[in-house]
């Protein structure tokens, strides 16, 4: 039986929203619907809009509530609307067999203890292992014509640290280029292109952070022993991990800085065009990218200092 309020956390593209949708589809009764809370709409008038949503859920006996990127909503309410923040926590803690709330976040460590304790269950949705990648590839190629040269097992083996979303993009790109048929050469070319965005060392570090969070919140995680076994190598000494995984060089960092800077320019243009009605998620992403650029530039300075030395 699914818990009354659930927090799914993990990297982008790993299927948090997809899993939430699947849970709702499997568990909802008869015609009872699901409502998705749009953070940008809520934040226009948090006190009134949030209460209106939950009143409607109660009145029309809506079964499921999906809140994506709840860390952004929590942060805004916590800083600017404390009464509404308290109201949301109360709703999350409310035990009601007639409704299920599922929230998602990429940054669980930014939630306060009170916010985390409001959830009945906290579950990690992390990068898939080889078997997981193979399962994903089988699903997304079920209705795709694959050339005999294509081995899904081989693709799963060489796409370590890829998310499900990236595997889907790989197949979509290859299908478009192959005009309906995917061969090994097309897949290889697209893997080489997409691999440039998969900075393994950073994903390992982020996975360590997710795992540490999972272990710390073990009272919310019934399958914690499985998590420890599955990702035990991530608990090794940092130097051991760095030796066993590809290390970013100066060119990798410079390329990633440029990618983030281009994305930042587009987001700031979008923000400027939106005026007062800017989506709060855009602001959050701008802040995240700016922080990432700062970290990358600090790493780059270390490389430059080594070169001088």
Predicted local distance difference test score (pLDDT) of residue 238: 38
Distance CA 306, CA 300 (A): 10
User: Are 212 and 108 spatial neighbours (Cβ–Cβ below 8 Å)?
Assistant: no
pLDDT tens column, 36-61: 887 777 888 888 888 888 888 888 88
Domain ranges of the chain: 5-124, 130-195, 200-244, 250-308
For the CA atoms of the chain, what is the radius of gyration? 21
> What's 178's DSSP letter?
T
Nearest to 64 by CA among 17, 116, 123, 14: 17
Burial class (CB in 10 A: 0-12, 13-18, 19+), 243: exposed
The CATH number of the domain covering residues in 130-195: 1.10.8.60
With a cut of 50, list the residues of the chain below it in pLDDT. Answer: 30-31, 218-247
Pairing of strands 64-67, 100-105: parallel
Token pair, residue 221, equals 């995680």
Distance CA 130, CA 152 (A): 11
Predicted local distance difference test score (pLDDT) of residue 126: 83
Nearest to 178 by CA among 194, 190, 164: 190
Predicted local distance difference test score (pLDDT) of residue 274: 78
Question: Model-level pTM?
Answer: 0.65
Asked: is 5-124 a CATH 3.40.50.300 domain? The reply is yes
Per residue, the 3-state secondary structure of 186-238, as one string, reads HHHHHHHHHHCCCCHHHHHHHHHHHHHHHHHCHHHCCCHHHHHHHCHHHHCCH
Token pair, residue 31, equals 């015609």
> Which long-range CB contacts under 8 A does 211-218 form with residues at least 24 apart?
211/124, 211/126, 211/235, 213/9, 213/108, 213/109, 213/124, 214/124, 217/116, 217/122
Helix (H) or strand (E) holding 259: helix 250-274
Location of structure tokens 């950073």: 202
Location of structure tokens 């997710």: 210
Predicted local distance difference test score (pLDDT) of residue 262: 84
Residue 135: left if φ>0, alpha if ψ -120 to 50, beta else—which one?
alpha
pLDDT tens column, 196-228: 777 776 777 777 778 777 767 644 444 444 444
**Which residues, other chains included, contact 27 with Cβ-Cβ below 8 Å and sequence gap of 6+?**
2, 63, 64, 100
């Amino acid at each position: 039986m699914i818990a009354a309020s659930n927090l799914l956390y993990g990297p982008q593209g790993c299927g948090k929203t997809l899993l939430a949708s699947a849970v709702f589809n499997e568990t909802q009764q008869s015609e009872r619907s699901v409502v998705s809370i749009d953070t940008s709409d809520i934040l226009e008038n948090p006190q009134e809009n949030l209460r209106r949503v939950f009143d409607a859920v109660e009145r029309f006996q809506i079964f499921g509530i999906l809140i994506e990127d709840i860390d952004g909503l929590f942060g805004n309410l916590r800083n600017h609307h404390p009464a509404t923040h308290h109201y949301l926590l109360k709703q999350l803690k409310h035990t009601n067999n007639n409704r299920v709330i599922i929230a998602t976040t990429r940054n669980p460590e930014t939630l306060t203890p009170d916010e985390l304790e409001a959830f009945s269950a906290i579950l990690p949705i992390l990068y898939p292992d080889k078997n997981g990648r193979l399962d994903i590839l089988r699903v997304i190629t079920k209705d795709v014509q694959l050339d005999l040269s294509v081995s899904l097992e081989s693709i799963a083996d060489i796409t370590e640290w890829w998310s499900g979303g990236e595997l889907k993009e790989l197949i979509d790109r290859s299908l478009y280029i192959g005009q309906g048929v995917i061969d090994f050469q097309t897949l290889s070319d697209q893997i080489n292109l997409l691999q440039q965005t998969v900075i393994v060392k950073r994903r390992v570090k982020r996975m360590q952070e997710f795992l540490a969070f999972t272990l710390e919140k073990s009272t919310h995680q019934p399958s914690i022993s499985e998590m420890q076994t599955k990702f035990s190598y991530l608990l090794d000494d940092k130097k051991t991990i760095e030796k066993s995984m590809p290390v970013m060089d100066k060119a990798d960092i410079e390329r990633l800085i440029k990618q983030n800077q281009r994305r930042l320019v587009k987001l700031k243009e979008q923000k400027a065009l939106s005026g007062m009605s800017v989506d709060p998620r855009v602001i959050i992403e701008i802040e995240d990218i700016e922080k990432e650029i700062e970290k990358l530039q600090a790493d780059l300075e270390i490389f430059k200092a080594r070169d001088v030395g």
